[in-house]
């Protein structure tokens, strides 16, 4: 999907990684193994998590704050759960902002409000630091396998090219989405579309099955017709239609319903800012919120909405 | 997609065709040209429509009621706008029921409630007549080109095979959906999925564009990711993303928003019968009802919901 | 609410009553006790139900079909569960239509599609019979106490006056809604408004309580402000706010969630006919359909949607 | 509704007022006229607005920042459009926080996220300052007439009593809602209920009218039955049903649709935090967002949703 320039300007830099959660940990593991930077500094709010990482990767060093990461690294990746965490890591006490070196490159792979990405990028530019938003799709399996898709918002194609030198070690598809914030917008738009499609596929499959149709037959008809979508073809929510998808193993693994609910919430929020009507998006958001708080669904894949629909 | 038996048992029969509207007329035209049956009897509520057909196809004969069609034909196709019309043509005064000959084959290509299909099929069976539901997708263009998809509900594979001898001259894909009524269910399920997807694609594309993304770039990202569906890939509702689709020619041609509204209404109704929740389906139904009654959208393609969303 | 004419033209007539279910039985009981007509003929699809009625009311006579009711009575009340039942009783085999005497008065208290009321009224007019739609609100308790509200559609104020002579013995409020069918429309409109309000009250009370507010305090604020409605003031769905309402006794008694679901379905259907958008109505319909099929809610009052919202 | 203590401890204090917009200006006018405090300091982001106030009220003094207000006043009222503005006024550069005197009382009448109220109150407590959330209902007319309702969140009944000495001059009903943040929750809950009810009333009235009912008759039936709510009884959205309401004067005056859209957005956001499902609330939010961006509705009363529903 892309061609690397032959030289690597970032190779000799020290890399910092903040946020070693379910996604960040395997991403950082791939990065340190494949990129083999001169130095690799890690930080997590939960220090034990960082120490565990160091146990596995001896060359990594643990520090106690984003500030210390900023002081010691010229390339920094952050992977955090919400916009609130991102703001705290960047502009809070002992945050990155207080220590960043001019000319540094900061990549935020968290999925957050695009306005936060834009605001922080603008603040960092005042310190001569380029910040790109680089949210991912592909889940924890993609993070482990290094096959994530990165949706990159950058102020120039050159900065996108530069980011690839790092991101390629964690992902397979690197997509340039335009200016800073656009990575978030692309990610959020895709996931809103996905969330609605999954509920639509669930309503449709459930309706057909309740009316007496064979699920595989129905899926086959949809998939050769105008009703087909990723959720019917690749990730069908009805058990038994496809092998090796969450619906065929009790909705375990996959993309958690609460993560989908969070992304739908972001979609509804940015839609509110621009007054773009997202009625189906808003209803889908409420449905995922209801499913994720229903006993037995808390840790399930988001396709479990199919089961929720027909559970008595 | 299917193999014909070498002999044609229906060839020597007289064919009847009832309902020569926007879909029925070109379907009947293809049938009479390609099948060249021994006799071809047509009827339409609007007699002029039938006379026009006869003008174009000299070998066709016009009769004044479904009853007369039934008396003279052993194979009958009906293509009518709603379940009410179907019930009237079959069981009303001077209806088919009063004249059908034992051993006849009746194919109803209307899109109606599956329960009506089942009821009528059951009544006709009492007269030793097999009735199949054979609704279509593909629109008027598909009807003219003879490339429709037929979704066939039949009580046995043999009856499905038999129906192919006729249907193959009007369509390209003939799909066996199981027992009588299942053709309708498959059609309605597909179109519910399509209707929701189209609004979802419209909300998503509109949201991204309002937030400043390039529409083609956004469509490209969706189409290589988990948000892809027929409505984003093949029929994108945002003008300029794809050539030769309704959105790129002022939403003319295509599948009318009022037809989609009708099919969504059928979906919500059958879901109510089985108490299968279709919350997104119900909201999509309301949105199409609102769009179709908005000035300037009455005759537009159903993808015009994109324009409706961002019209001020 | 109304003044009776001094004479009673209907007193000397024989009354027929068809449909002795949960509503019809107590309505008929009140009528026979209070009106004391010259004759009282009853019929129910389930003959045992009619025999039970006769056991309690010796002066009643049981007949085997609507036809026999029609032959023997000049005033007939019908109280049936759905439009399908009504059509069957009126125009089916051994139905009313075949035996009605010119000059008879027929009152249909079933809640059904207004178009069915209009159609039947028009058919009966051809036999010189006046049919009024007289759906009720007030539930089984109101039926027993004789305090129902009747919403009456009649072609003239005189016919409304005439109907009062009978209806006053079963209800307290008799409301003239205009032409035939308008009784249904008024009933359905009111219940759609009620259904949406109840879910809105449930969402609102649940939101406030989840955020930490005292339910009684919150209800008090709503009820003295612009958020007040019958569902917050008289029938609050949050347990403990009001005594003697279903929510304070485990959601028993009251108006069943499946009955509300049925009425919402009627509302969505008539809205579809006139293309009047009812987006909230459609969503409310789906929610009641989901609640009524959830284990433990099948027989509960419709205010149990509050419990469903916060059940884990 | 409440009894004042005989002495007024706040009378001798200097009062500060920040935010002289459509609501704040008339509120401050009432306060300065009726309370006649020793000193009255005003500030607005738009200095001209403050100077206009001073022109009308000679005893008022204008200052250039919230900080200066804080330095000179012991009782401060803020009335600002959004949470972002409130955070900026309190904790931004030259904000209140930098200058507040221990023992001061701060009343925020803005309608914002309850979490922001709680956060700020907690921060101010660290400076020995009590902050209460005191959002209002009643609109600009209520602000002018001094008849607003204040929903007060305070950490003790004593603080609520103290706040009354000030608030009574701007409002008629002062309601104690419990701890800090609860004023916001009560306000938001009420307005979510109101917003849903208004759309429900509009869908219902429109459905009935489209089906041929007289609007006054239908409103009368609803208002004596279970469908009644403030929106049908006091503020009916159908033109001609009630005199002296926005619907009967082209939807002018009243409570702007964009203000309702904003409050629905707050409701959906706090519901998301507590995962309380608000499906009807979310749909209502989207509908108001659509209406407020439709040409001709930007400045209309929120009951104009009725007109939007049936506009072609």
- pLDDT by residue (tens digit) across D99-118? 999 999 999 999 999 999 99
pLDDT at A6: 33
Mean pLDDT across chain A, nearest whole number? 94
On whether any CB of chain B is under 8 Å from the CB of A172, the answer is: no
Q: How far is B14 from chain A (nearest CA, A)?
A: 32
| Record: contact A277-D289, CB cut-off 8 A | yes
Q: Any bridge partners for residue A148, and if so which?
A: A171
What is the pLDDT averaged over residues D220-237?
95
| Record: contact A197-B197, CB cut-off 8 A | yes
Q: Answer yes or no: are the C-beta atoms of C194 and C201 closer than 8 Å.
A: no
pLDDT at B138: 85
In this complex, the residue of D213, D228, D287 whose CB is nearest that of residue C182 is D213
pLDDT at A12: 75
Using only C-alpha atoms, chain C has a radius of gyration, in whole angstroms, of: 21
| Record: contact C279-B283, CB cut-off 8 A | yes
Tokens linked to C118: 């209009």
Contacts of D1 (CB under 8 A, 6+ apart): D172, D173, D174, D175
**Preferred mutation among C221, C272, C310 to probe D, highest tally of D CBs within 10 A:** C221
On whether any CB of chain D is under 8 Å from the CB of C211, the answer is: yes
- pLDDT by residue (tens digit) across D258-284? 999 999 999 999 999 999 999 999 999
Mean pLDDT across chain D, nearest whole number? 94
| Contacts with A312 from chain C: Cβ below 8 Å | 293-295
What is the pLDDT averaged over residues A191-214?
97
Distance CA A51, CA D75 (A): 51
pLDDT at B113: 95
- pLDDT by residue (tens digit) across A170-180? 999 999 999 99
pLDDT band at D4 (very low <50, low <70, confident <90, very high): very low
Quote the DSSP letter at residue D234.
T
Q: Which residues of D52-62 are buried (b: 16+ CB within 10 A; e: fewer)?
A: ebeeebeebbb
- pLDDT by residue (tens digit) across A213-240? 999 999 999 999 999 999 999 999 999 9
**Considering D13, D118, D164, D187, which one is annotated as catalytic?**
D187
Tokens linked to A19: 């946020």
- pLDDT by residue (tens digit) across A79-89? 999 999 999 99
Distance CA C46, CA C56 (A): 16
On whether any CB of chain B is under 8 Å from the CB of C3, the answer is: no
| Contacts with B290 from chain D: Cβ below 8 Å | 309
**Nearest Cα to Cα of residue A75 among A126, A19, A144, A11:** A11
Distance CA A311, CA B69 (A): 48
pLDDT band at C7 (very low <50, low <70, confident <90, very high): very low
Mean pLDDT across chain B, nearest whole number? 94
Distance CA C59, CA C157 (A): 32
- pLDDT by residue (tens digit) across B191-207? 999 999 999 999 999 99
Q: For chain B, what percent of residues have pLDDT higher than 70? A: 97
What is the pLDDT averaged over residues B130-140?
93
On whether any CB of chain C is under 8 Å from the CB of B292, the answer is: yes
- pLDDT by residue (tens digit) across D10-45? 767 899 999 999 999 999 999 999 998 889 999 999
| Record: contact C221-D281, CB cut-off 8 A | no
Q: How far is B208 from chain C (nearest CA, A)?
A: 25
pLDDT at C9: 63
On whether any CB of chain B is under 8 Å from the CB of C243, the answer is: no
The residue in chain C having the minimum alpha-carbon distance to the alpha carbon of residue B264 is C272
| Contacts with D290 from chain B: Cβ below 8 Å | 309
On whether any CB of chain D is under 8 Å from the CB of C268, the answer is: no
Indicate the angle between helix axes B182-210 and A215-223, nearest 10 degrees: 50
Interface confidence, given as ipTM, is 0.92
pLDDT at B181: 97
The residue in chain C having the minimum alpha-carbon distance to the alpha carbon of residue A296 is C312
Length of chain D: 312
What is the pLDDT averaged over residues A63-81?
97
pLDDT band at B9 (very low <50, low <70, confident <90, very high): low
**C255, C256, C261, C266: CA torsion to nearest 10:** -50
In this complex, the residue of D137, D207, D221 whose CB is nearest that of residue C276 is D207
Q: Is the pLDDT of residue A8 over 90?
A: no
Distance CA A138, CA A173 (A): 10
Q: How far is B101 from chain A (nearest CA, A)?
A: 31
Mean pLDDT across chain C, nearest whole number? 94
pLDDT at A312: 84
Q: How far is D130 from chain C (nearest CA, A)?
A: 20
| Record: contact C283-B287, CB cut-off 8 A | no
| Contacts with A288 from chain B: Cβ below 8 Å | none
Tokens linked to A178: 């335009």
- pLDDT by residue (tens digit) across B154-192? 999 999 999 999 999 999 999 999 999 999 999 999 999
On whether any CB of chain A is under 8 Å from the CB of B238, the answer is: no
Question: Which residues of C are designated catalytic?
Answer: 187
In order of A307, B21, B23, B81, B92, the CA distances from B47 in angstroms are: 51, 11, 16, 16, 18
Q: Answer yes or no: are the C-beta atoms of D245 and D236 closer than 8 Å.
A: yes
Q: Answer yes or no: are the C-beta atoms of A41 and A15 closer than 8 Å.
A: yes
Q: Any bridge partners for residue A131, and if so which?
A: A106
Q: Answer yes or no: are the C-beta atoms of D25 and D53 closer than 8 Å.
A: yes
Distance CA A88, CA A184 (A): 19
Q: Answer yes or no: are the C-beta atoms of D70 and D40 closer than 8 Å.
A: no
Q: Is the pLDDT of residue C13 over 90?
A: no
Contacts of B50 (CB under 8 A, 6+ apart): B20, B42, B43, B44, B62
Q: Which long-range contacts (CB under 8 A, 24 or more apart) does A165-169 make?
A: A165/A4, A165/A8, A165/A9, A165/A10, A165/A11, A166/A10, A166/A15, A166/A31, A166/A35, A166/A75, A166/A77, A166/A105, A166/A107, A167/A107, A167/A134, A168/A2, A168/A4, A169/A30, A169/A31, A169/A34, A169/A35
pLDDT at C5: 35
Q: Is the pLDDT of residue C17 over 70?
A: yes
| Contacts with A91 from chain D: Cβ below 8 Å | none
Distance CA A243, CA A229 (A): 17
- pLDDT by residue (tens digit) across B275-309? 999 999 999 999 999 999 999 999 999 999 999 99
| Record: contact C286-B279, CB cut-off 8 A | yes
pLDDT at C57: 97
Q: How far is B264 from chain C (nearest CA, A)?
A: 10
Q: Is the pLDDT of residue C6 over 50?
A: no
pLDDT at D6: 34
pLDDT band at B254 (very low <50, low <70, confident <90, very high): confident
pLDDT band at C141 (very low <50, low <70, confident <90, very high): confident
Q: For chain D, what percent of residues have pLDDT higher than 70? A: 97
- pLDDT by residue (tens digit) across D71-84? 999 999 999 999 99
Q: Is the pLDDT of residue A39 over 50?
A: yes
Q: For chain A, what percent of residues have pLDDT higher than 90? A: 92
pLDDT band at A9 (very low <50, low <70, confident <90, very high): low
| Record: contact B283-D283, CB cut-off 8 A | yes
In this complex, the residue of C193, C221, C232 whose CB is nearest that of residue D177 is C221
Indicate the pairing of strand C136-137 with strand C148-152. Answer: antiparallel
pLDDT at B55: 97
In this complex, the residue of C275, C282, C293 whose CB is nearest that of residue B282 is C282
| Contacts with C270 from chain D: Cβ below 8 Å | 207, 211
Helices within chain A (DSSP H only): 24-35, 47-56, 66-72, 83-91, 114-125, 139-145, 157-167, 182-210, 215-223, 230-233, 257-274, 279-292, 305-310
Distance CA B234, CA B228 (A): 10
| Record: contact A294-C279, CB cut-off 8 A | no
- pLDDT by residue (tens digit) across D130-156? 999 999 988 888 999 999 999 999 999
| Contacts with C291 from chain D: Cβ below 8 Å | none
* Residue entry with tokens 């429709």: B148
In this complex, the residue of C271, C272, C283 whose CB is nearest that of residue B283 is C283
Q: Is the pLDDT of residue B272 over 60?
A: yes
């Amino acid at each position: 999907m892309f061609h690397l320039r032959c030289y690597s300007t970032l190779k000799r830099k020290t890399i910092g990684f903040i946020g070693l959660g379910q996604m960040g940990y395997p991403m950082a593991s791939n990065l340190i193994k494949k990129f083999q930077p001169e130095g690799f500094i890690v930080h997590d709010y939960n220090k034990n998590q960082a120490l565990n990482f160091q146990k596995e990767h001896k060359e990594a060093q643990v520090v106690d704050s984003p500030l210390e990461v900023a002081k010691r690294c010229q390339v920094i990746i952050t992977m955090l759960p919400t916009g609130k965490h991102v703001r705290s890591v960047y502009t809070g006490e002992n945050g990155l902002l207080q220590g960043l070196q001019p000319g540094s490159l900061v990549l935020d792979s968290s999925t957050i409000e695009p306005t936060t990405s834009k605001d922080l990028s603008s603040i960092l530019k005042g310190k001569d630091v380029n910040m790109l938003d680089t949210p991912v799709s592909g889940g924890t399996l993609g993070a482990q396998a290094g096959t994530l898709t990165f949706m990159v918002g950058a102020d120039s194609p050159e900065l996108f090219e530069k980011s690839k030198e790092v991101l390629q070690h964690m992902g397979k598809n690197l997509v340039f989405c335009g200016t800073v914030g656009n990575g978030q917008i692309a990610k959020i738009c895709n996931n809103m579309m996905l969330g609605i499609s999954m509920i639509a596929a669930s309503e449709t499959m459930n309706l057909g099955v309740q009316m007496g149709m064979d699920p595989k037959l129905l899926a086959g008809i949809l998939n050769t017709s105008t009703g087909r979508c990723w959720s019917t073809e690749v990730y069908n929510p009805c058990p038994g239609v496809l092998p090796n998808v969450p619906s065929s193993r009790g909705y375990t693994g996959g993309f958690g319903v609460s993560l989908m609910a969070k992304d739908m919430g972001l979609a509804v929020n940015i839609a509110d800012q621009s007054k773009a009507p997202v009625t189906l998006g808003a209803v889908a958001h409420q449905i995922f919120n209801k499913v994720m708080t229903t006993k037995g669904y808390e840790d399930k894949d988001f396709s479990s909405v199919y089961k929720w629909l027909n559970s008595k």
